[in-house]
A = this chain, B = another copy of it.
Amino acid sequence: MAEYWSTLDVDLHLAVDPASGRRVGLEHALREAIRDGRLGAGTRLPSTRTLAVELGLARGTVSAAYDQLVAEGHLVAVRGSGTHVAELAGQGVPSGLRAAPRSSDSLESLDALGAPSALGLPSTSGLPSAWVGEQARSRPKPLGNNLLPGSPDLSHFPRAAWLRASRRAVNQAPNDAFGYGDPRGRVELRRALAEYLGRARGVLADPERIVVVSGAVQGLALLGQVLGGVVAMEDPYIPLFHEVVRSHGAEVVPLPVDDDGARVDLLAGPDFDQVGTVVVTPSHQYPIGSTLHPARRQALVEWACEGRRLVVEDDYDGEFRYDRQPVGAVQGMAPERVVYLGTASKTLGPGIRLAWMVLPEPLVGPVTEVKRHADHQSESLGQLTLAEFIASHDYDRHVRAARLRYRRRRDLLAERLHTRAGRPAAGFALGGIAAGLHALVRLEPAGMTEVEVLKRASEFDLELEGLGGLWHTAPANALASSAARPQGIVVGFGSPTEAAYPRALDALVRTLSWR
């Protein structure tokens, strides 16, 4: 989903006051946005042309404003890589948090309201009052070429089968299903999941140790509250996930990633000696697409066991592997040291908000307690429906059909990029394993930059996400510095409908075949 997986096209509301003249007004608005952190250090600004079009200003006006702010030290212009917010220009919002547009002046009016002002979340202080939905509404609709990652093909949600399962579930439910219940979730679903996760993902799952949550976001929020301390999270990774853990009480340090998955070797180093928990995507790193090397899996488990530490395994798309049998979950190697986090968001759809954690025994009580304080329990009827859906093997059938569909899509992507990309002046290569719903198109140094690709994509009405917004800079971790960063495009081949996919691929090929 677009809002989740931030792109370089930062959505930013700039209230340009026409009274002070357009150029001066724009300069002022940009300066304010940098100062109050809506434009964080390192953020790449839109091209002068793009911003001019968006604001309805002359391109020269925007260029002049950029030049002025470069001269002031607020911005930095780098040939071939555009204009960025200078590193010390402001107190940045966490990287990758899409600065949402500010609808009016709501923080001012919140103060005016006199409400006790502390916004609980560190990451939202000085933050936008606007939100995804408004953003989506106010932005012109994409014209159908959408290769953004984060979503399966929603047109394949199994409506009829789901309704059948729902009817059986609601008709058979005991009365207490409609009341308050166990914060861990319905036992019917926990039993079905224990069986499914055991056979499909090699997870050692006892229904008593499963907590059903409303999506992976909630799982991470609850773990942040219970575990606290210092949590290492992969870099690059989904910015919202870093934010969620941080805003629920833990300190987050970024852990670099390469073609063999998370750099587990670094955990022994001085930058990570306070780390008590590490969050990883071993089956299919998001967004790089690598799988955790067997030696690193072993090292990870040893690190956890020896130091009595914890691994959180985000197995968001473990069902989808196309080149071989899926690798089993790390959890199966050390169920007392690994929290397994799975979800129906990629197999069915994020809208049903069903995910699950399999916990080491000592965490069951504390996680259940914070879940009770968060929302008492997840909604029952969806849980009973999913339990039916799994028990009837409709879930297996659905996953199998989806696996075939997405495998064909990835094959088509590879074929189009390798054999038909015309005369690619921009060097690129398809990275990552054949799995999941996304692939990384790596951009080689000689070719187009991410910014150039994204800009060109927009000319073909193609929505793409660059790697750029998924990095988490931290001074403590030199390895994640931007110098060492590869450039790439995260292609979400799962998102379009079947009918739209070939057209979207055409647009991608044309985008990459420039010059």
Q: Show the binding face of A for B, using Cβ within 8 Å.
A: 1, 3-4, 94, 97, 100, 102-103, 106-107, 109-110, 112-121, 123-124, 127-134, 136, 150-151, 154-155, 157, 159, 162-163, 166-167, 170-171, 173, 175-184, 187, 213-215, 217-218, 221, 224-230, 240, 243-244, 247-250, 276-277, 307-310, 336-337, 348-354, 360-366, 368-370, 372-382, 497
B131 in contact with A368 (CB, 8 Å)? yes
Question: For the complex, what is the distance from the CA of A216 to the CA of B171, rounded to whole Å?
Answer: 26
B175 in contact with A157 (CB, 8 Å)? yes
Question: For the complex, what is the distance from the CA of A110 to the CA of B277, rounded to whole Å?
Answer: 13
> Chain B contacts of A249 at CB under 8 A?
118, 120
> Chain B contacts of A378 at CB under 8 A?
214, 353, 379
A154 in contact with B175 (CB, 8 Å)? yes
A63 to chain B, nearest CB (A): 32
> Chain B contacts of A224 at CB under 8 A?
120
Question: For the complex, what is the distance from the CA of A180 to the CA of B215, rounded to whole Å?
Answer: 11
> Chain B contacts of A368 at CB under 8 A?
129, 131-133
Question: For the complex, what is the distance from the CA of A214 to the CA of B372, rounded to whole Å?
Answer: 12
A153 to chain B, nearest CB (A): 9
A-B pairs with beta carbons under 8 Å apart, 19 shown:
A103-B365, A106-B366, A110-B362, A114-B276, A115-B276, A119-B366, A120-B224, A120-B248, A124-B366, A131-B183, A154-B175, A154-B176, A163-B166, A178-B348, A214-B375, A215-B375, A221-B374, A240-B372, A352-B379
Known contacts being A124-B366, A375-B214, is A349 close to B179, with CB within 8 Å?
Answer: yes
A363 in contact with B115 (CB, 8 Å)? yes
Number of this chain's copies in the assembly equals 2
B133 in contact with A373 (CB, 8 Å)? no
> Chain B contacts of A173 at CB under 8 A?
159
Q: Which 10 interchain pairs have the tightest Cβ spacing?
A: A116-B229, A114-B308, A129-B365, A133-B182, A178-B349, A120-B225, A116-B276, A120-B249, A106-B365, A1-B180
B180 in contact with A351 (CB, 8 Å)? yes
A109 in contact with B227 (CB, 8 Å)? no
A114 in contact with B380 (CB, 8 Å)? no
> Chain B contacts of A121 at CB under 8 A?
225, 369-370, 373
> Chain B contacts of A381 at CB under 8 A?
351-352, 382
Q: Contact check: which of B113, B123, B250, B373 meets A360 at CB < 8 Å?
A: B113
A228 in contact with B382 (CB, 8 Å)? no
> Chain B contacts of A376 at CB under 8 A?
94, 97, 215, 217-218, 350, 353
Known contacts being A154-B176, A352-B380, A374-B217, is A182 close to B120, with CB within 8 Å?
Answer: no
B182 in contact with A131 (CB, 8 Å)? yes
Question: For the complex, what is the distance from the CA of A232 to the CA of B375, rounded to whole Å?
Answer: 21
Question: For the complex, what is the distance from the CA of A361 to the CA of B129, rounded to whole Å?
Answer: 10
Question: For the complex, what is the distance from the CA of A184 to the CA of B136, rounded to whole Å?
Answer: 13
A115 in contact with B227 (CB, 8 Å)? yes
Q: Contact check: which of B119, B184, B348 meets A228 at CB < 8 Å?
A: B119
Known contacts being A106-B366, A120-B370, A155-B175, is A310 close to B115, with CB within 8 Å?
Answer: yes
- In the complex formed, the residue of B with least CB distance to A123 is B373
- In the complex formed, the residue of B with least CB distance to A182 is B133
A182 in contact with B226 (CB, 8 Å)? no
> Chain B contacts of A150 at CB under 8 A?
180
A247 to chain B, nearest CB (A): 5
Q: Contact check: which of B131, B159, B180, B247 meets A132 at CB < 8 Å?
A: B180
> Chain B contacts of A226 at CB under 8 A?
115, 119-120
A339 to chain B, nearest CB (A): 10
Known contacts being A154-B176, A382-B379, is A181 close to B361, with CB within 8 Å?
Answer: no
B178 in contact with A157 (CB, 8 Å)? yes
Known contacts being A351-B381, A362-B113, is A372 close to B277, with CB within 8 Å?
Answer: no
Q: Contact check: which of B118, B163, B243, B361 meets A167 at CB < 8 Å?
A: B163
